[in-house]
A and B are shown apart, each in its own frame.
Chain A
Amino acid sequence: MAETGRLSLPSAKPLRLPVHPVTALRIGIILAVVVIWEIVSASGWLYRDVVPSLVAIGKALYTTLSDPTFYFHLYTTFYEIGIAMVIGGVSGLAVGILLGGSKFMSRAYEAYLYYLGPCPKIIFFPIMIMWFGVGPGSKVAMGAISCFFPVALNVAGGMREIDKVLIRVGRSFRANTWQMVTKIYLPAMRHPVINGVRLGLGVALIGTLLAETKLSNRGIGFLVIQAYSIFNMPQMYALLIILFVIAIGANTLIGRVGGLDDIKRT
């Protein structure tokens, strides 16, 4: 019988760097991006000011963050997203528990949620304007619709994963519906619920802010589209940076607080 030779990897001497190679590479990539950005900015290859200097963006970031009116707009957006999360999250939770708790209801209605979930929600905005007006109501509605689907689908999935023994324990103690929800269902499916909230927050943020960019006179979305309309590119970049930091930060925070990162590691 023929033998196949063993592959041996050439042994190389470990390269000693003053910093960890991963950190060094990260710094290298950031520096390369900064240098390329500044070259493009100074060269004028693109239309003037489309790629402003990083110094200009930094100044705009400082000006924006030190402007009190920015916090009024930030508060408006947070307020809209907060209300949207409460409405969309609670209704999503209720519908998720209903669908996940009954196979019959799930078969009857879950397909509608499953296929409506990924549809672009912003197309409902004209309807929301007609129903709730041009003020914050229509933005809250957009956020709530966006948030509802991921929460409902995650909770329904989480309900089906609950250990049947726990449900039987609750029933044997003659727990009523409220006690079953608060003492059995929610603690047992906290991870899918938190994951749903995390996804819901992301899409509620997008729904609300996009609605603000389309038709509004307040909120961060309004500031972004205003920066576009007066061609204030450094401010637009600054606002986008702030938004991304908020969105990614909130996403990470919910994941950490909810222990989702620990699940992934194990």
Chain B
Amino acid sequence: MSAAAAFAKNRYAAAALGVGSFVGFIVLVELLIRVGLINRFIVPMPSDIIAAFPRVIVEEDVLQRFLLTAGEALSACILVTIFGVAGGVLLHRYLLLRLATETWVAAIAAAPLVLMYPLYLVIFGRSALTIVMMGFTAGLAPIILKTLEGLSATRRVLINVGRSFNLTPSQQFWKILFPAALPTIFVGLRLGLIFSLINIVGVEFLINFGGLGQLINELAERYDLPGTYAAICFVILISVCVFILMERLERWLRPVD
């Protein structure tokens, strides 16, 4: 095996290339700005962005903003879980209702619901309630659909086992259907919560209210370029951490096949 082929097969080499390219790109941008090929009033130097991090964290009260966004996300998460799972169970329980409305729910899932934010501003005012309700609306349809999918995909043999034990409908649901559907429901919850989170931060930015989204908007309006870039990096970092956490949680809950 040639050295190049061995390098290509090495898992660590690939990761190193990924990180190396990222660092190389940042260094290149820094150099291009320093030599004047990129306008520093449009793209701030990466070193300035890194230096802006402590300032943004301390002066802009990032922890408080993070807690505010997290609180909104948690409220939307609770609402969306309760109503989404209940909606899925309802559609599974009543076949006629499912046949009549499943395509509607799927259509809602494909609709750009976040564009309703001006309407929510009118209904709920420029408050955290608008942001929470926007997150709730965005995350609801995927959870309903995935709950329905999970419950419908319960293996026939499991349902027959429950019947052979003469389980009541309630026992059949809690002992058979719900545990069997839980992994799929959690996939729906992950999707729904990601949609909620995206919309919450997005609407915070758009209406200039709340936590992390508003922080980016405020810094941009002050034309604090390094601060704006630092805040965007900060929000991306938090989003990525949340997605990784949810993914781990889903894997942990998913039974071994």
* Chain A positions near chain B (C-beta within 8 angstroms): 4-5, 7, 21-22, 25-26, 29, 46-47, 50, 104-105, 107-109, 111-112, 115-116, 118-120, 122-127, 129-131, 202, 205-206, 209-210, 213-214, 221, 224-225, 227-228, 231, 233, 236-237, 240, 243-244, 247-248, 251
Contacts and interface: CB of A to CB of B under 8 A. Distances in A.
B200 to A, nearest CB: 8
B164 A4 contact: yes
19 contacts: A4-B164, A22-B100, A25-B96, A107-B11, A109-B21, A118-B239, A120-B199, A123-B216, A126-B219, A126-B232, A127-B232, A130-B42, A206-B115, A210-B202, A210-B206, A213-B206, A214-B206, A240-B119, A243-B115
Contacts of B216: 123, 126
Given A118-B243, A130-B225, A240-B115, A247 B122 contact: no
Contact of A126 (B22, B122, B202, B228): B228
Contacts of A231: 122
B217 interface: yes
State the 3 A-B residue pairs at the shortest beta-carbon distance, nearest first: A126-B220, A107-B14, A228-B118
A108 B24 CA distance: 14
Nearest to A111: B18
A243 to B, nearest CB: 6
Interface of B: 8-9, 11, 13-15, 17-18, 21-22, 42-43, 96-97, 99-101, 107, 110-112, 114-119, 121-123, 163-166, 194, 197-199, 201-202, 205-206, 213, 216-217, 219-220, 225, 228-229, 232, 235-236, 239-240, 243-244
A127 B229 contact: yes
Contact of A7 (B97, B163, B217, B225): B163
B99 A116 contact: no
Task: Name, among A105, A206, A227, A236, the residue most crowded by chain B CB atoms within 10 Å (CB to CB).
Answer: A206
A207 B118 CA distance: 15
B235 A120 contact: yes
Nearest to B246: A118
A248 B198 contact: no
B28 to A, nearest CB: 17
Given A22-B100, A120-B235, A122-B202, A227 B18 contact: no
Given A21-B96, A119-B198, A209-B115, A247 B110 contact: yes
A161 to B, nearest CB: 20
Nearest to B118: A228
A213 B118 contact: yes
Contact of B112 (A116, A118, A131, A244): A244
Contacts of A210: 114-115, 202, 206
Nearest to B238: A119
Contact of B240 (A22, A115, A240): A115
B239 A120 contact: yes
Given A109-B18, A224-B118, A236-B119, A120 B99 contact: no
Given A120-B239, A247-B111, A227 B118 contact: yes
B97 A108 contact: no
A119 B15 contact: no
Given A7-B163, A209-B112, A224-B118, A108 B239 contact: no
